[in-house]
Amino acid sequence: MSKQVFPLMQRREVTTIISTTKVIARVGSTDSDIGGTQYTSRDFKSHPRYRRATFDYDIGYIRFEAILIDGVNTAIVTLAENGAPIRSGTILTVSGWGATEEDGSVSENLMAVQVPVVSNARCRQSYNTITPRMICAGEPEGGRDSCGGDSGGPAVTNERVQFGIVSNGIGCARPGIPGVYTNVASLRDWIRHITSREPSLPPFYYVNDGNDNRIVGGYNTTIQEHPYQAFLLIVQGNALFQCAGSILNHRYILTAAHCIQGASKITARIGSTFANSGGMQYTSRYFRAHPFYNPMIIDYDVAYLRTMLRMELDGVNTKAIALPPSGTPVAPGTILTVSGWGATSENGNVANNLMEVRVPVVSTEQCRKSYRTITERMVCAGVPEGGEDSCGGDSGGPAVSNDVLTGIVSFGIGCARPGVPGVYTNVSSVRNWIKRNTGI
């Protein structure tokens, strides 16, 4: 049938069978060769009791630094509880990109097949060694089965609980010979022991950064309309934070200081309308916030990151943004175009498609009616009746006027509330610092 989309247990572990020096996992794609996101790992272990001769304890895990979970194309699998029984006749859905027939070619498109569980006693008529760590499943007449290339993949019940891992078999879909799967419930304690060494994360790649900034009241747009836009995935300890940024040149991206606090690594995706796929990804471990950044009042909320590799800018999907001269005033009523992949409503889910919204600048005096401290390093923008705003997940992203980066999404109270504008870092007020540190 197929080869497998790795089922995600936590953001950092994947159950599968290990026999290599490096693993590359593609998640979030129906196609085995393109789309989604790829992750590389050299940190993996098989069960200490695994026996290749009998395929007993045929389970392993792979640890990744981070995996994007959007709840749509990528989600965390639910595992069977320790010792949970699975009855003969239970239907298991097995999915993957393996061969569609014995000795056949593997599939590029994700495939799925449903097979009934058979008793271990019945299975022992086909195999010499069937242990409590195994489940067998298949049709008596054959014709439906997992096959070469599916190994390590999931076998889930109709309730989407993973009970099995594709393990071994004699041929593919032969009459009277079921496939053999690792019994997840029998090894649940080992899985829990391995994966509980680090705290689990919620099943979404977005973790609120505490400043509540995302696109609300906007509409879908494309990267061609905003080729300077960058999606940032920020690793902070065991957490992942979503922010945005603006491309300055082939090596530098501008973002908000609050986005990089405590960060150990930042991955930037550029050139794509989508947060989860397409474009190009660049890694940075070198980033700096403004030395005067004050997290208490979110003053001087600006930072830059330098990518390890030179970014390819084609002028269509990827392009540097122009910056204003130092001290350029921003008049009330100026329309700012704000773009990003943040949530589309307060407490809502983040967007996968790039969004944009247009909001007018309001005076500092008006903004101070909503916020105690508004400094010269801040610009406020929003419509009096609410309904249009940035919101959480857009932090660090661009607010543009006449193709010039006027503001950086910084903070706000809620999202698109009437009479409460969003707050943006005033780029012209920190222009000299940007020039000194990036040469731009």
Residues labelled as active-site residues: 258, 301, 395
What span, in angstroms and rounded, lies between the C-alpha atoms of 70 and 227?
23
Residue 320 has which token pair?
């540097």
Helix and strand element counts for the chain (H, E): 5, 26
Backbone angles phi, psi at 186, to 5 degrees: -75, -15
Cα–Cα nearest to 112, from 35, 38, 166: 166
What span, in angstroms and rounded, lies between the C-alpha atoms of 87 and 94?
17
Which residues does residue 359 pair with via DSSP β-bridges, in sequence order? 336
Cα–Cα nearest to 355, from 298, 393, 300: 393
Beta-carbon contacts of residue 121 (< 8 Å; ≥ 6 apart): none
Alpha helices in 179-260 (DSSP H): 188-195, 257-260
* Residue 216, amino acid: V
* Residue 74, amino acid: T
What span, in angstroms and rounded, lies between the C-alpha atoms of 46 and 117?
25
What span, in angstroms and rounded, lies between the C-alpha atoms of 354 and 128?
55
Is residue 359 within 8 A of residue 389, CB to CB? The reply is yes
Phi-psi category of 114—alpha, beta or left, where left has phi over 0 and alpha has psi -120 to 50? beta
Helix (H) or strand (E) holding 122: helix 120-123
What span, in angstroms and rounded, lies between the C-alpha atoms of 273 and 73?
16
